[in-house]
Amino acid sequence: MKIKKDTLLLFAAILLVGVLIVFSPGAKEGALYGAALAQRVIIPSLLPLLIIFNFIQHSAAGIALENMLRPVTCKILRLPKCAGPAVFLGLLGGYPTGALLTANLYRNADIDSACARRLLRFDFSGGAGFIITALGAGILKSRAQGAVLFASVTAAALISALLGSFIWGKSEEGASSYLSVPPGDALNKSVEQSARSVINMAAYIVLFCAVFTNIRLPELLTPLLEITSGTTACASEVPLWATAFYLAFGGFCIHLQIFSVIKEAKMKYADFLLWRVINGVISAAVCLALTHIFPQVNEVFSNYSETIVRPTSVNAALSVLMLLGSAVLIFDLENKKCKC
């Protein structure tokens, strides 16, 4: 059975290479589009924030933030005090900031694996820079809609965190062990970690854009694979609550980027995927409520029912199979690592 699975994986990889070679002009255009997205959206909106956030967590500045957030972190969310900055900065900075900051805490033994899994279930957001500025002001041409989307995703994450506090109870108290790092060393470490993370994220975006330029999905499904290019393509054509779901789900491309962190925390991918769906549903519900409270925000979508979805080169059934294939790939990676 293992040989058969490995053979199928090899065949799929060779087929993918063939597609990229045969349709190289399209693949090149897709890769350039992905690189442009990374250059214009990911790097300017995420890299500076990620460097600063890592610096705060690695330096003595994190002590003040921990103490400021302690009432909410410990009393309401029932998490260790040291998790406060990771939650706050993760939700503010955007994916994969929350997962990376959680990994830093776990690697330094500031939190245990159970607490790391709790954080990974909700500390996953597009962040203010991407959602409000890039998506809201840039793509939707409305900073107000971006603010509603950011509020929806953040509220969904906090609601999930509260659910976790009732399900798993209070986590063991911990304190950051590396907050006394000298500022110069903290900055160097932060720049190195942040650059590596952003380069990794940009590479995934380029790969997905190169592949799916030739093997296209209906635009309503593309955000489930790659959130940046997907929301860029369809955010103006779907209801705001649907975009809120996409942003909370994050897309399989982001899931793959933090897969090593998920495994390091001894978390099953099925667990992570379930909570992404839960967060997505909550985010969509919150967004729907907000657009009823503030109906003027929803005006841009008043003609949604008249929107015509552009045709694609594959049918809907194949598109669903491709989405399932992405999930199967992650599950297969999980099984292989468990056997090692």
Evaluate the omega torsion of the peptide bond into residue 85 and state whether it is cis, within 30 degrees of 0. no
Q: How far is CA 182 from CA 60, 106, 189, in A?
A: 8, 21, 11
pLDDT value, residue 152: 96
* pLDDT averaged over every residue in the chain: 81
Sign of the torsion formed by the C-alpha atoms of 293, 297, 299 and 304: negative
User: Would you kindly state where each structural domain of the chain is located, as residue ranges?
Assistant: 25-173+190-299+311-335
Which tens digit of pLDDT belongs to each residue from 4-52?
A: 767 777 887 888 788 788 778 888 888 898 888 888 877 887 788 888 8
pLDDT value, residue 330: 53
pLDDT value, residue 183: 82
Which tens digit of pLDDT belongs to each residue from 231-248?
A: 877 877 889 999 999 999
> Could you tell me which of 305, 238, 282, 288 has the C-alpha nearest to residue 125?
282
Determine how many CB atoms are found less than 10 A away from the CB of residue 28.
Answer: 13
Average confidence (pLDDT) over 147-166: 95
Q: Which pTM was predicted?
A: 0.78
Under the banding of pLDDT at 50, 70 and 90, the label for residue 314 is very low
Angle at which helix 97-107 crosses helix 43-58, to 10 degrees, equals: 20
Contacts of 235 (CB under 8 A, 6+ apart): 135, 139, 140, 243
Which tens digit of pLDDT belongs to each residue from 42-87?
A: 788 778 888 888 888 778 788 888 889 999 999 899 999 889 988 9
Which tens digit of pLDDT belongs to each residue from 99-111?
A: 988 988 898 888 9
* Residue 89, token pair as written in the block: 């900065």
Residue 91 has pLDDT above 70, yes or no: yes
Q: How far is CA 150 from CA 128, 129, 157, 258, in A?
A: 6, 10, 11, 21
Residue 147 has pLDDT above 90, yes or no: yes
pLDDT value, residue 174: 60
pLDDT value, residue 222: 83
Residue 155 has pLDDT above 90, yes or no: yes
Under the banding of pLDDT at 50, 70 and 90, the label for residue 307 is very low
Which tens digit of pLDDT belongs to each residue from 160-189?
A: 999 999 888 777 666 565 556 788 888 888
